[in-house]
Structure 1
Amino acid sequence: MDNLVKMRKLDHDNVHKFIGMSIDGPRLIGVWKLCSRGSLQDIICRGNFSMDYFFMFCMIRDIAEGVKYLHHSFLRVHGNLRSATCLVNDSWQVKLADYGLDFIEAQEQKMLAKKRLLWAAPEVMRGSLKPSITDSPADVYSFAIIASEILTKKEAWNISERKEGYEEVIYLVKKGGGEILRPDLSVDRDVNQTLLALVKDCWAENPNDRPVADEICKLITELTPKTKNNLMDHVFKMLEDYTFTLEVEVEERTKELTVEKKKSDILLGKMLPRQVTERLKAGQAVEPEGFDSVTVFFSDIVKFTDLATKCSPFQTVNILNDLFSNFDAIIEKTDVYKVESIGDGYLCVSGLPIRNGFAHIKNLVDMALQFMEFTSHFKIPHLPTEQVQLRIGMNSGPCVAGVVGLSMPRYCLFGDTVNTASRMESNGKPSMIHISECAHTLLTKCYPYQYETSSRGEVIIKGKGVMETFWVHDRSTIVTTNKNWRSENLEKISEADSGDKNTMRSVSPYIENLTVDENKRRRELIKESMEYL
């Protein structure tokens, strides 16, 4: 009890303040002043704080001063010096704790007591001294082990990375003789070599060869950098540097994040319409939307299965990638939205998600003609004699569009218009653009005389019955943006009018039924349009 009273009177900047002892209950509990940063062992194991040489030097100096004070006190020895008993307060001062309570230490678990031997001096392990009655040279040895932890920024003996376990390390240190085993002191270049030599002297095998605490403190004082003597000032400077570095790093990461966000937005924009992605990013629900008039486009590659049998899987992928990449480039220049491509199938729509009046039929017909033009010149590198042929089908009408799914949301089209467009494609012919009567009517009424079309006649369409369908051949040679328009174009019209009406290619499906006056009026309209152009 007298010792406890004396311990309460111990007062030093580097000695943890003892408050008292709780004797109520089954266990004796020592009460100490709180050190909010925890133990030195915790700080080293976390590894989340950058310690430069001066910071490490100050910690080692604090421990040495604490040991010196205890060695001159009534205790004469710490007896349990470890990195776990070196506590750190808010000011980053190291304070020695758990001194003078040997009778409590005896209650610790055997495993914990055995691990404590990693800091114990060889003479303690060999039994010449008990851990509870160690003398000052044993404290000096423990100080050296703690200093090695600080300088290497690793746990004692770097046990987690050593091939020997802690029990084997304890055995080899206890055995001694020959080449003695000590922690590896691989440290940064800026560490003072004299300080390293001091640490090695402190863990000398012979206790009499170890310096006393007074000598250690004197040498450390001489090693103190001339330009620095206050740890807190140094910590503040470190924090300022760290803050500046952090600001620069945050700015760099923000730029990287912005670039990656743009990439993800571009990728998302290719998967979903922009209006839909904006609503999804805002956390808003995307409700299905109806559109009164759109044009749906389907295409596939004729005899693609036969073509694929002549190619390896990688070659097949490369063919589709080359073809569809060029299709995508064409689409980017038009008011057309690519819905998806599945295998050799290609699905597009115009008129949604942004309504464009009746321009959707013209957009897709122009796009289809460009697809046909590109495909006619497309060559397969390893099959130069093979010709890729497209089969295209289109239909116009109402449609509903909406986002389906959560984990992989897809923008999907629904309605009879989509089904009919698919039938136009599947019932089409190679290198031909097959359109429904609805699409043809819309094309010829909204854009008269601009495209060459012809009736295919009545065709039985699965699920629809008998339908009259049409072919789109090309843009009309009558309406042109060439200001040097020549009279021979009108002669072509006359030749077309006098040709075989069963096989003719017309700029309007109704040209066969025009009277002389109506035909004359048609020519006048054409002339007016040419003058306008």
Structure 2
Amino acid sequence: MLGLSPEEIIRKVKKPPPMCRPTVAPDQAPLECIQMMKQCWSEQPDRRPAFDDIFDQFKTINKGKKTNIIDSMLRMLEQYSSNLEDLIRERTEELEVEKQRTEKLLAEMLPPSVAEALKTGGTVEPEYFDEVTIYFSDIVGFTTISALSEPIEVVNLLNDLYTLFDAVLANHDVYKVETIGDAYMVASGLPKRNGNKHAAEVANMSLDILSSVGTFKIRHMPDVPMRIRIGLHSGSCVAGVVGLTMPRYCLFGDTINTASRMESTSLRM
């Protein structure tokens, strides 16, 4: 309406004074639109209406008439804002689910109290337990079974068997320490003390494991019976976290050594 080229208008807007603003005659647009335009280019920012206010004013100006381009643009902005909020909410929920999965996995690898301390960057001091019961078991003839099996078959065998053991553990007040090859190690009385119940908990767990092994079938050797040896011992020990890159909750003391010897010298089943 000023009869200037776009480049000239931009130059004048960029480098005042004088201020360069459109000149809109009353017959070229509704009066409310002209007033709103003037509010929007006000030199005082607090006088400029927000997008929500502009949208509301346009709805009033249109009064149900055909939507104009500005109204469409504002609707698109509003829709974009809404979609962005939904996307953020969705991503936040996904992040929370992943966080829960990570924490669950961490809790399965380390005692919850230890995991919590490591997450917050704290140090985990070694702890002395005056009475615990330790369980060890291994597979009878595992060397022979391994020699007659493919590596993947050995892994599947151990995974099947120890998944079965893990399910039994859920019914007792015990803590699975680790598996080393075909050896399976469990403790009761740590990291959560349980008075003098530890021996009974491990003994009952052992009976349940023996029962479950009796019906266990090796996938690639269904005719070969599964047999295990078990050793238990009660006493004192020290527990602590070893390593930073792959921290492990380890137990130390004669009680552990004795339980291991009880297992290695015991009769099958």
C-alpha displacement of 1:238: 3.9
Partner residue in 1 for 2:50: none
Partner of residue 209 from structure 2, selected from 371, 380, 390: 371
Q: Output the CA distance in 1 between the equivalents of 2:91 and 2:218.
A: 44
Alignment match, 1:303: 141
Structure 2 CA distance for aligned equivalents of residues 419 and 18 of structure 1: 88
Instruction: Check if 1:389 corresponds to 2:227.
Output: yes
**Counterparts of 1:239 and 1:254 in 2: how far apart (Å)?**
22
**Superposition pairs of residues 319-398 of structure 1, within 5 angstroms:** 319-398=157-236
Specify the alignment match of 2:27 in structure 1.
none
Alignment partners' CA distance in 2, 1:359 and 1:426: 25
Task: Give the corresponding residue for 1:281.
Answer: 119
Do structure 1's residue 419 and structure 2's residue 257 form an aligned pair? yes
Map 1:503-522 onto structure 2 (within 5 A). none
1:17 aligns with 2:11: yes
The letter for the 1-side match of 2:268 is P
Deviation, 1:13, is 5.5
Deviation at 1:237, TM superposition (A): 4.4
Once residues 7 and 69 of structure 2 are traced to their aligned partners in structure 1, the CA distance between those partners, rounded to angstroms, is 19
Over 3 Å counting, the alpha-carbon distance change for 1:228 and 1:293 in structure 2 is same
- 1:354 is displaced (CA, Å) by 0.4
The alpha-carbon distance between structure 1 residues 330 and 229, as it changes in their structure 2 partners (threshold 3 A), is closer
Cα distance in 2 for partners of 1:229, 1:252 equals: 30
Indicate yes or no: 2:103 matched with 1:265. Answer: yes
1:151-162 alignment, distance < 5 Å: none
Say which structure, 1 or 2, has more relative contact order (CA 8 Å, 6+ apart): 2
SS of 2:137's partner is strand
**1:228 aligns with one of 56, 66, 69:** 69
CA positional deviation for 1:394:
1.4
- Following superposition, the deviation at residue 385 of structure 1 comes to 2.4
Residues 45-77 of structure 1, C-alpha deviation per residue, up to 9 Å, x if partnerless?
Answer: xxxxxxxxxxxxxxxxxxxxxxxxxxxxxxxxx
The partner residue of 1:405 within 240, 243, 247 is 243
Letter of the 2:69 counterpart: K
Q: Which amino acid aligns with 1:326?
A: L
Aligned ranges 1:357-506 → 2 under 5 Å: 357-431=195-269
Cα RMSD of the aligned pairs, angstroms, is 2.4
Distance 1:305 1:392 in 2: 17
Equivalent position of 1:316 in the other structure? 154
**What displacement does 1:282 show?**
2.6
Indicate the residue corresponding to 1:252 in structure 2.
Answer: 90
Deviations for 1:272-309, whole angstroms, at most 9, x for unmatched residues? 11111222223322111111111111111011010112
TM-score by length of 2: 0.73
Shift of 1:229: 5.1
Query: Structure 2 CA distance, aligned partners of 1:229 and 1:297?
Result: 75
Q: Deviations over 1:74-109 (max 9, x none)?
A: xxxxxxxxxxxxxxxxx9xxxxxxxxxxxxxxxxxx
Structure 1 portions without partners, runs of 5+:
1-10, 20-31, 34-90, 92-224, 432-533
Q: Tell me, which stretches of 5 or more residues in structure 2 are unaligned?
A: 16-40, 42-65
* Residues 133-155 of structure 1, C-alpha deviations (whole Å, 9 max, x = no match): xxxxxxxxxxxxxxxxxxxxxxx
Secondary structure of 2:218's aligned partner: coil
CA distance, structure 2, for counterparts of residue 272 and residue 310 of structure 1: 34
In the TM superposition, residue 425 of structure 1 has moved relative to its aligned partner by 1.4
Alignment-mate amino acid for residue 93 of structure 2: K
Q: Distance in 2 between matches of 1:298 and 1:403?
A: 20
SS of residue paired to 1:251? helix
1:239, distance to aligned residue in structure 2 (A): 3.7
The letter of the residue matching 1:284 is G
CA distance in 2, matches of 1:240, 1:310: 68
Aligned partner of 2:128 among 270, 273, 290: 290
CA distance in 2, matches of 1:267, 1:229: 52
Q: C-alpha separation between the residues in 2 aligned to 1:362 and 1:14?
A: 89
Letter in 1 for 2:145: L
Q: Residue 243 in 1 paired to residue 243 in 2? A: no
Distance 1:318 1:237 in 2: 58
